[in-house]
Amino acid sequence: MQASGVSLTSFEEARKAVDGVFEGQKRGSDASVILMGGQPSAVFDRPTVDLEGMSDQLADIRPNKGAVGTLDALNAAIDHLGEHANAKREILLVSDFQRLNWDSLPETSIQQTAELIKNQRVPANLTFLHVGREEIENVAIETVEMSPRLVGADQEVRLRVHLRNHGDKAYGTGLRISLYIDNADEPDSETEIPIGPKESTQALLTCRFPEAGSHHIRLEINSPDLDFDNEYRIAVNVLERIGVLLIDGDPSDEWLKGETDFLQIALTPFTRAKAELKDLIAPKVVRAEDFSEESLKDIKVAVLANVQKLETGQLSLLQKFVSEQGGGLLVTGGDKVDINWHNQHLAHKTKGLVPMRINDVSGSLIEREQQTRIVAQHFEHEALHLFNDRRNGNLADAEIAMWNRLVPANADIGPDDPGAPVTLALLESGDPLLVGRELGDGMVFQLAIPLDASWSNLPARAAFLPFIQQITTHLASRMFQPHNIPAGHPITAYFDSTLAGTSFTIRPPQGSDITLKAVSKGSYATVEFPDTRDEGLYTLSNKELPGPIHYVTNSPRTESRLARLTKEEVEQYAERLGASVIFEDSIDKTIDAYTSLEDQRRHGREMWKILMLCVLGFMVGELMLQQFFGRAKS
């Protein structure tokens, strides 16, 4: 409904049509207006006789950018009928009849809605009122992929922008995409891209954030057509550092002989290379016997690296860290692991941290025929998507001499049950290499091999560094609240419990600041804002915070496909739903046609012209008969 015709958008035409209908109503008529875009919603909670006030309210409303739920909106209108006082009831569906909102409707659902209208206790008339004109030219930003997943200060951010040309026009040059940081008036970077008719393409842009904190990116294309899909926003929480605790089960004073030495290199490649660039991850190493609650301060991910076993209190600390605080945990295999302790405590059937028991140790450091490799596969899990592009390294290059054979700790858990294990990567032996599970607010990954060079040559392969970076940042991401949210979903922010009861303000994309109160929820203070139907930037502020926090909502780009139903197709849908159709080429003719239809429904057809013709016909017939019989007598 946002596509534009000659002078008005379809939404503006719809608003004008509704105003015209309201003007033609008698005093005392009541009305409700249901907005169809996204989740259907009423402009007023109850029907109103103040139609002029309703028109004023509609003048300030912007179109929702979500896909239209046609039957959902009709059913919402049917629900509102019972609240109307007048016996004469009309449902007027005002639409540009975008094809994508109709062609996917199940026939059974259409029939059910038709029956609901037909069986109303007080009969209701349904009318389809067409507005807008066919528009076919449109280029849209469909999605944007940002890498890396977690962003550090002064770190290069890569944005892959997916574009689609829905029209027949080719853009050889001149289609420019611009990237703006925060509220900048000038773009941080730009590029021009060619795109042919009905084609898709990608553009790659980069940027940096010099300071940690909450930021946002705005991407724009200079396409002259549909406005809402020419822009795409992303909220970015830029971090100073991600704390990672390496619990070393086999330390060594000799470099590269300790259990966590290769891990430290992979987590801090720039620091180790003495480069000017900053590392996002800040690892801290402790021996297993020294691990304590203090060790977890400012930590987002903990790694149990070939640890023999833990004390009961230490295990409880990790359980709380993952399930209650949303931390990430990586547990590796190795020759130091006490398999009996692991299976009885760490992999307990109902209370365990990890998803898999250790069945035994397989492979051989000497016999090559007993060794294996990582399966070269398409990785479905988000943590390993990077390796679907072999330019980022090939995990199958690594030779695995020995490994722990992992089996489910709880065979009774179904694949769709909460906390069910998910295999991210397999060995050619058929055994899992990497398995994950969700646990409370956090996540656990379990690896069948150690991350030193004792059982494999993975640390010496090019894929090792991105492999460690990917799984670490994925585990850490569970501790960070989502800032990019589908339009219509609530914004929920968590803060320190000391902020419970304090006032926050949120500024929606359009409109004034709204005051919200933080409420206590467990060990946090939470702020919720449910009304995110408007796509764009939401800014949350509190005087106790170091700066504003940004959230972004985006809608699916289904509305970018502008093809519409023909008049004949609209009439076919109308017949199935028992509706009348008004399909005119101007808004004035549309209003006149509806006024005429309403008069017919209220007073019936004007019959005097037909009756006059009948009377005249009888009189002429009578004269002709008199002349005929007169001639017969003579």
State the Cα–Cα distance between residues 445 and 467, nearest whole angstrom: 13
**Cβ-contact 313, 291 below 8 angstroms:** no
Query: Averaging pLDDT over each range in 19-23, 83-87, 357-361, 616-620, which range is the top one?
Result: 357-361
DSSP letter, residue 346? I
pLDDT the model gives residue 4? 45
Residue written as token pair 């941290």: 353
Task: Decide whether 10-133+562-603 matches 242-477 in CATH topology.
Answer: yes
State the Cα–Cα distance between residues 559 and 222, nearest whole angstrom: 18
Q: Is 50 exceeded by the pLDDT of residue 6?
A: no
**Cβ-contact 458, 398 below 8 angstroms:** yes
State the Cα–Cα distance between residues 137 and 316, nearest whole angstrom: 60
Q: Is 70 exceeded by the pLDDT of residue 626?
A: no
The CATH superfamily label for domain 242-477 reads Class I glutamine amidotransferase (GATase) domain (3.40.50.880)
Q: Is 60 exceeded by the pLDDT of residue 633?
A: no
Q: pTM for this structure?
A: 0.72
Residues 6+ apart with CB under 8 A from 321: 296, 299, 302, 327, 329, 442
**Cβ-contact 314, 329 below 8 angstroms:** no
Average pLDDT over residues 278-299: 93
Q: pLDDT tens digit string along 225-283?
A: 666 788 999 999 999 889 999 999 999 999 889 999 999 999 999 887 776 667 889 99
Least confident among 1-15, 285-299, 387-401, 408-422: 1-15
Q: Is 70 exceeded by the pLDDT of residue 607?
A: no
- Check whether domain 139-239 has CATH 2.30.30.60, yes or no: no
Average pLDDT over residues 364-381: 94
Q: Is 90 exceeded by the pLDDT of residue 379?
A: yes
Residues 6+ apart with CB under 8 A from 507: 513, 514, 538, 539, 541
Parallel, antiparallel or unpaired: strands 124-130 and 89-95 = parallel
Average pLDDT over residues 351-367: 95
State the Cα–Cα distance between residues 146 and 285, nearest whole angstrom: 30
**Residue percentage of the chain with pLDDT more than 90:** 49
User: Sorting pLDDT into bands at 50, 70 and 90, what band is 60?
Assistant: confident
DSSP letter, residue 103? T
Computed over every residue of the chain, the mean pLDDT equals 87
User: Sorting pLDDT into bands at 50, 70 and 90, what band is 628?
Assistant: low
Neighbours of 168 (CB within 10 A): 10
Least confident among 362-376, 386-400, 579-593, 598-612: 598-612
- Check whether domain 10-133+562-603 has CATH 3.40.640.10, yes or no: no
User: Sorting pLDDT into bands at 50, 70 and 90, what band is 5?
Assistant: very low
pLDDT the model gives residue 88? 80
Interior angle at CA 261, CA 258 and CA 262, nearest 5: 125
Q: Is 90 exceeded by the pLDDT of residue 399?
A: yes
pLDDT the model gives residue 608? 45
End-to-end CA gap in the chain = 77
3-state secondary structure of 108: helix
State the Cα–Cα distance between residues 453 and 439, nearest whole angstrom: 30
Average pLDDT over residues 323-336: 94
Average pLDDT over residues 356-372: 96
Residue type, 289: E
For the record, the structure tokens of 76 come out as: 């919402």
DSSP letter, residue 367? -
pLDDT the model gives residue 136? 67
User: Sorting pLDDT into bands at 50, 70 and 90, what band is 173?
Assistant: confident
Residue type, 381: H
State the Cα–Cα distance between residues 415 and 422, nearest whole angstrom: 8
**CB half-sphere exposure, 72, CA atoms < 13 A:** 12
What are the residue ranges of helices labelled H in 204-259? Answer: none
Q: Is 90 exceeded by the pLDDT of residue 66?
A: no
Torsion of CA 363, 365, 366, 372, to 10 degrees: 40
Torsion of CA 239, 245, 246, 248, to 10 degrees: 170
pLDDT the model gives residue 350? 87
Least confident among 111-115, 466-470, 608-612: 608-612
Residue written as token pair 């509102």: 80
For the record, the structure tokens of 341 come out as: 């302790």
Domain ranges in the chain are 10-133+562-603, 139-239, 242-477, 484-552
State the Cα–Cα distance between residues 18 and 24, nearest whole angstrom: 10
Average pLDDT over residues 614-623: 56
Q: pLDDT tens digit string along 541-558?
A: 999 999 999 999 988 776
State the Cα–Cα distance between residues 168 and 134, nearest whole angstrom: 14
pLDDT the model gives residue 632? 53
**Cβ-contact 331, 379 below 8 angstroms:** no
Query: Averaging pLDDT over each range in 160-169, 283-292, 379-388, which range is the top one?
Result: 283-292
